[in-house]
Every structure is written in C-alpha cells, then in structure tokens.
C-alpha cells in the first residue's frame, strides 16, 4: 500500500506516451470490433455442445409426434424410409468420427454434420430473434420503476444545475437531450438506460449531486451522453438479449416439469398481446426479463421438485418414467450454459463492454475538454458508496461498478488540491481550536507536503468523529471546510455523511436522519442483491466494469493530472510466493475446467443414450399391435375358462 504519507516527495506530472482523445476513441473503436469478433467466436464455441444436446432432443420430440400421428393416420412409407436412412447415415458418420472405423465420403459427412448442427443453431437463432423483437420496445419504464426514479425538481438549485448540465452536454454532442431521472439512494452513481438514443434516460442518484461539483458532474454526464451517442444502448440491449435467450432455452426445457418455468413461459407468450399503458407493458417486460434471469440460476428448482417430491401419485410416477430422459437433457443444457457463459461468452461480452466504457471516457474528454474533471469524479466515486438498491439487472449500465471499486481510494489528490485543503483547514481552525476538546487535542499541523497531508487526514477524521458525536464546533468546522473544498470525499476519507445532514439531523430533520442511517447501513458492506435480480454481472467470471485505476491511467494519457501510485507490493519474498501460488493454482484451475468439459461430454452422451432408449421403447409400444394382443389375451382367457368348465 502506498499511502500519501509514505511517499517521499510529490512526483512531477509526466504522462507516459500521451494520446489525444480522437486517437483514444479510434483505438477503442477498433478494440470493440476485435471484441465483437471474439464474442461471435465464443458464441459459436458455446453453440457446439448446446446444439449437440438440443438437436437429438428435437429429433426425439419430432419422432414421438410422428409416431402419434402415424397411429391415427398413417404417414407415407417414404417418411419412415427417409428417417431411417438419415439415422443410419448419422450413425455411420458418428462411427467414422468417433471410432475411426469405416469410411465416409465428404458429401455424407457434410449431410451428417448439417443434421446435427442445423436444427440446434436454427432453434437458438429463432429464439434470439424472438427475444430481440419482444423486448425491442420495452425495459426502460420497468427499470425506472424498479429504481424508484423521479423527475428532477427545478426549484432545487442542485437539480436545476443538473438539468442545465445535461442540456449543455447534449448540445456539445449534437444529440437530443435525454430525459433525466433522479433516485433518492444513499449510493452515488449514474447510468444511461434505454434502447436507443431517442428514448435514452439518464438515471442519477441524488447523492451524486451533493458529492460532486459542477465540473465533475459535467464530466460524468458527458460520459453518459458520449456513451448514448456511441450507440452503447443498442450494444447493451444485444448483450442482454443473448443472456435472455440462454434463459429462454432453459425455461423451454424446464417447461414440462414445473410451475415456475411454465408461468414464465406463459408470461412471455402473453407479453406481445398485452394491451394497456406503455408503462405497464414496460414493467411487464422488466419482470419477464428478471424471471428469465432467475431461470438461469443453476439451482433452479423446478426439475428437482418434479423428481424428488416424496408422496407422488400414480400419474406423477408414470410421468416421471416417461420424462426421465429429459432430466439428462435438462442437466446437460444447464451445465453447458453455466460453464460456457461464465467462463467464455460472459467474459468476452464483459471485455467488449469495457472497451465501450473506455470509449465513452474518451468521448467525455472530447465533449468537456477537461480530463481532470472526469478523473477526479471517478476518484470521488471510488471513495463513495456506489451501491444502488433495486435494478441490479442494469448493474452493467452504471458508470462505476455498483458493488464498489476501491482501486483509487488511497490515492492522494493532486498537489494543488492538497495544498488548498491544508490552507482551508487552517483557515477554518481559527474559530474552532480551543473551543472544542476533540479538536484541540490534535497538534496543529504546519508545513506543506505529503507528510502534512497524512496528518491532515487524521485530524479531519477525528473532527468527523467529534461532529458525529454532536460537537457543534466540529460540525461547523466540517461544514465550512466542505463548503470551501466542494465536498470532502475527494480527500480519501471513507464514506462520511454530508455535514449538512449531521446539522439537520441534530435539529431533528427526519429525512436527514434516514439518509445518515441508510449510509451507515450500506457502509463498507456490499448490498446483497435479491434473488432473481442478479443481473448480467453474476453470469460472468469477469466484471463488466473496467477497474477505475485503468480508466484513470487512460485519462492521464489524455492529460489528467492525478497521481496514480505505482503499487509497491512487498519485497522479493512476496513475489516468489505469488509466483508459486499461481504455478499451483493455474494447473488446478485448468484441470477443473477440463473435468467440467468431460462431465459435460458425459452428460451429452448419457442424454443421447437415454433419448435413444426412450425412442426405441416408444417405437416398440407403437409398433405393437395392441388390438391383436388384446384379442389373443381374450382368446387365451376364454380357452382357460373353457378348459376349467370342461374339467368341471
């Protein structure tokens, strides 16, 4: 840890290889293309095992339907002939590919592969397009509702300032002004939501207005507007739809087994036909999206309940036998989705999304021409609580990770700001020193430098404690200090309540007390998301938000003056230890991954085996001439009874 106190001297500001914002934007655009290609490749890789599970399942269902139809109105013999030919061909190709036995000509090979791959791919694509069409006109209202967003109040100076800043930034970008919504949350964060630039909404927590000054606010809004202008909303929509498609596939497979999946499916089917206000439709869309996200949890319980419930009736028992092979299909699909989403597709999409964040950072610098403001705003947010309750489905849309990013917490602000802090602190001390015991205990600081700055922090902390205990002088001093500095969070102090709130709370203002209590509750702990509101973040091994430190470094290349310390981690011993640890962990993780793949392959094979058995049993059942059998049985009974009567 390198705290400002331990650093020996303030280093001069020298950005390494500076980069203009135009260049940075071009570079990030290229990176986006690369990442999109990687995403498509990852989706393709994930599609192979998925289609290996889905295709046999589809064939099995088709064959059963054909058998039933055949029973009532016999299908032409050609159909059965073709089906049998295709099955034999598939068997031959599989034999060549897996056992290296026999030969197959390229045409047969192509047909065989197409037979296996095409139905799964077509099904996935159809579902994906369906999801895209379904949610094209929804989502914003629902998310807004789940965040408890409200319109800004133009009588409040800060909120008036906010709408001014938004308009300024929209003018700078030449875009339509997006709508602003405020959330009264203890965390400081903001997000752009919507499906396109025309219905974009910027959601912003009230605390952000209190903690940031005008320029910092402008920088964050510029980031949001640049993001909207770059078309990030569309990308976010596509990314979300891929995750939702995976949820839909699981739901479809689960549908025969449980109420939860069936009700989800029913809601999805009903959704496009729903009449009513736009807001109700949007809320519905949001709810459906969350249900889909919930289905994605591996420990979704529908199928377990189906096979586990103790006192099952005869019908349930029969159904269990009939649906037994589906259990393997279900498990194979859930396992595949979980594994590939978390380790392959999710991280690729997260990295894609990160390039968009860097791009929007560069765009914000282009709009404001003030890299310092964005850098200090990000630093401030690193010190603040950024958690927003509700709407974690949209967690990836927020400008800073809502579960917090502390990578910039201990960074000393730029030297001029430190000097200003020292001066202001000394100026506010005149009235307070001597009057209050808590403050006068501290030795007055002298001199300017990083050592003095560390002392300053300690002193401010003790004053904050005194203020929280109800010392009026300490409160007054903090208030004066905060007013002069434009917020104290930037000085690397942990979350502390707004001095104004402390004053109001002492006078008995309920709202202020509630705000302080909420802050205390959120504190350093992360807010635990509700089940079903996990969002995309939990489906990816890699976070959707780039680390603030990296963003800060890129801003520095564009000219921001913030000293990001080079981390000075322990000595040689620690390095050796870390290398050993990595040497141990990496092979272990690789082995675990390979084992997972083997398990998935096993599940796929079992699925094939059971589906095959299931099909042959059904085929046998339909092929039996039951009528003749019954006649024979009756004849047998008659004979027996005749024999009995004869004997008697």
Partner 1 sequence: MDTVLIVISVTVVLVLWFVLHVYNGLVRMRNDVRNAWSDIDVQLTFRHDLVPGIVASVKGYMSHERQTLEAVAQARSAAMVTGADIGTRAVAEMALGRAVGNLLAVAERYPELKASQNFLILQEQLTTTENRIAFARQHYNEMVRQFNTSIAEFPRNLLAGMLGYSPEKLFAADAQDRAAVQVTT
The full DSSP string for 494-540 is: -----HHHHHHHHTT-HHHHHHHHHHHHHTTSPPPPPTT--TGGGG-
Rounded to the nearest whole angstrom, what is the least distance from the CB of residue 149 to partner 1 in the complex?
A: 23
- In degrees and rounded to multiples of 5, residue 326 shows phi and psi of -65, -25
For the chain, how many residues are written?
648
Rounded to the nearest whole angstrom, what is the least distance from the CB of residue 153 to partner 1 in the complex?
A: 13
Which residue number, 200 or 289, has a Cβ lying nearer to partner 1? 200
Question: How far apart are alpha carbons 295 and 301 in whole angstroms?
Answer: 9
Rounded to the nearest whole angstrom, what is the least distance from the CB of residue 379 to partner 1 in the complex?
A: 23
Question: How far apart are alpha carbons 320 and 193 in whole angstroms?
Answer: 44
Residues 6+ apart with CB under 8 A from 496: 464, 488, 489
Question: Which positions lie near partner 1, rule CB under 8 A?
Answer: 157, 160-161, 164-165, 167-169, 171-174, 214, 367, 369
Question: How far apart are alpha carbons 84 and 431 in whole angstroms?
Answer: 96
Which residue number, 127 or 173, has a Cβ lying nearer to partner 1? 173
* Residue (of 242, 298, 290) closest to 267 by Cα position: 290
Q: What is the CA radius of gyration of the chain?
A: 32
Which residue number, 22 or 266, has a Cβ lying nearer to partner 1? 22
Residue 352 C-beta-side C-alpha neighbours within 13 Å: 23
- Coil, strand or helix: which one is 170? helix
Rounded to the nearest whole angstrom, what is the least distance from the CB of residue 483 to partner 1 in the complex?
A: 13
Which residue number, 204 or 367, has a Cβ lying nearer to partner 1? 367
* Residue (of 329, 251, 340) closest to 289 by Cα position: 251
Rounded to the nearest whole angstrom, what is the least distance from the CB of residue 615 to partner 1 in the complex?
A: 55
DSSP state of 344: I
The kind and range of the H/E element at 412 are: none
Rounded to the nearest whole angstrom, what is the least distance from the CB of residue 175 to partner 1 in the complex?
A: 10
Which residue number, 228 or 414, has a Cβ lying nearer to partner 1? 228
Rounded to the nearest whole angstrom, what is the least distance from the CB of residue 177 to partner 1 in the complex?
A: 11
Rounded to the nearest whole angstrom, what is the least distance from the CB of residue 217 to partner 1 in the complex?
A: 12
Q: What pairs with residue 183 in β-bridges?
A: 205
Question: How far apart are alpha carbons 518 and 512 in whole angstroms?
Answer: 10
Which residue number, 222 or 236, has a Cβ lying nearer to partner 1? 222
Question: How far apart are alpha carbons 542 and 35 in whole angstroms?
Answer: 14
Question: How far apart are alpha carbons 341 and 335 in whole angstroms?
Answer: 10
Residue 244 vs residues 32, 135, 178, 200, 606: alpha-carbon distances, Å: 22, 10, 26, 21, 27
Which residue number, 368 or 418, has a Cβ lying nearer to partner 1? 368
Rounded to the nearest whole angstrom, what is the least distance from the CB of residue 158 to partner 1 in the complex?
A: 10
Residue 572 C-beta-side C-alpha neighbours within 13 Å: 0
Rounded to the nearest whole angstrom, what is the least distance from the CB of residue 173 to partner 1 in the complex?
A: 7
The kind and range of the H/E element at 378 are: helix 371-383
């Amino acid at each position: 840890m390198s705290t400002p106190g331990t650093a020996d001297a303030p280093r001069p500001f020298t950005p390494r290889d500076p980069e203009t914002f135009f260049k940075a934007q071009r570079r990030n655009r290229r990176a986006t293309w690369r990442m999109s290609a990687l995403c498509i490749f990852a989706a393709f890789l994930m599609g192979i095992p998925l289609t290996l599970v889905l295709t046999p399942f589809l064939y099995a269902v088709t064959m059963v339907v054909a058998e039933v139809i055949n029973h009532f109105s016999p299908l032409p013999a050609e159909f059965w002939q073709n089906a049998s030919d295709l099955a034999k061909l598939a068997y031959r190709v599989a034999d060549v590919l897996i056992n290296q036995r026999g030969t197959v000509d390229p045409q047969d090979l192509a047909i065989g592969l197409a037979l296996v791959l095409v139905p799964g791919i077509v099904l996935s694509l159809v579902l994906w397009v369906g999801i895209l069409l379904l949610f094209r006109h929804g989502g914003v209202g629902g998310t807004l509702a789940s965040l408890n967003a409200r319109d800004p109040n133009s009588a409040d100076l800060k909120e008036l300032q906010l709408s001014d800043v938004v308009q300024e930034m929209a003018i700078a970008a030449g875009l339509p002004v997006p709508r602003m919504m405020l959330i009264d949350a203890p965390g400081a964060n903001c997000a752009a939501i919507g499906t396109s630039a025309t219905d974009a909404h910027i959601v912003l927590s009230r605390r952000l207005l209190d903690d940031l000054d005008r320029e910092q606010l402008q920088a964050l809004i510029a980031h949001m507007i640049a993001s909207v202008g770059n078309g990030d909303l569309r990308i976010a929509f596509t990314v979300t739809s891929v995750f939702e498609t995976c949820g839909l596939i699981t739901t479809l497979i689960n549908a025969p087994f449980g109420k939860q999946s069936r009700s989800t499916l029913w809601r999805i089917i009903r959704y496009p036909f729903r009449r009513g206000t736009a807001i109700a439709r949007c809320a519905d869309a949001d709810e459906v999206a969350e249900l889909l996200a919930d289905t994605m949890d591996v420990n979704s319980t529908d199928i377990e309940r189906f096979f586990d419930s103790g006192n099952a009736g005869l019908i349930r028992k029969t159904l269990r036998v009939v649906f037994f092979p589906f259990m393997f299909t279900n498990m194979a699909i859930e396992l595949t989705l979980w594994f590939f989403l978390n380790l392959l597709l999710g991280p690729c999409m997260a990295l894609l999304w990160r390039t968009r964040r860097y791009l929007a950072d560069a765009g914000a610098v282009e709009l404001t021409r003030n890299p310092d403001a964005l850098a200090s705003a990000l630093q401030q947010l690193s010190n603040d609580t950024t958690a927003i309750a509700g709407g974690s489905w949209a967690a990836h849309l927020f400008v800073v990770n809502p579960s917090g990013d502390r990578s910039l917490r201990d960074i000393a602000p730029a030297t001029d700001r430190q000097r200003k802090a020292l001066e202001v602190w000394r100026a506010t001390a005149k009235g307070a020193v001597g009057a209050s015991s808590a403050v006068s205990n501290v030795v007055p600081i002298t001199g300017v430098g990083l050592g003095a700055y560390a002392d300053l922090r300690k002193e401010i902390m003790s004053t904050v404690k005194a203020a929280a205990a109800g010392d009026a002088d300490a409160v007054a001093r903090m208030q004066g200090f905060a007013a002069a500095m434009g917020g104290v969070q930037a000085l690397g102090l942990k979350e502390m309540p707004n001095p104004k709130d402390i004053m109001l709370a002492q006078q008995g203002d309920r709202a202020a007390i509630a705000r302080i209590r909420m802050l205390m509750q959120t504190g350093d702990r992360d807010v635990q998301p509700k089940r079903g509101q996990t969002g995309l973040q939990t489906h990816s091994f890699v976070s959707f938000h780039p680390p603030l430190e990296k963003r800060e470094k890129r801003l520095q290349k564009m000219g921001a003056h913030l000293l990001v310390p080079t981390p000075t981690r322990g000595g040689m011993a620690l390095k050796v230890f870390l290398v050993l640890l990595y040497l141990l962990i990496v092979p272990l993780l690789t082995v675990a991954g390979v084992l997972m793949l083997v398990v998935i392959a096993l599940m796929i094979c079992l699925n094939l085996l059971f589906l095959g058995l299931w099909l042959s049993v059904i085929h046998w059942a339909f092929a039996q001439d039951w009528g003749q059998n019954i006649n024979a049985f009756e004849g047998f009974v008659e004979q027996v009874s005749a024999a009995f009567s004869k004997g008697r």
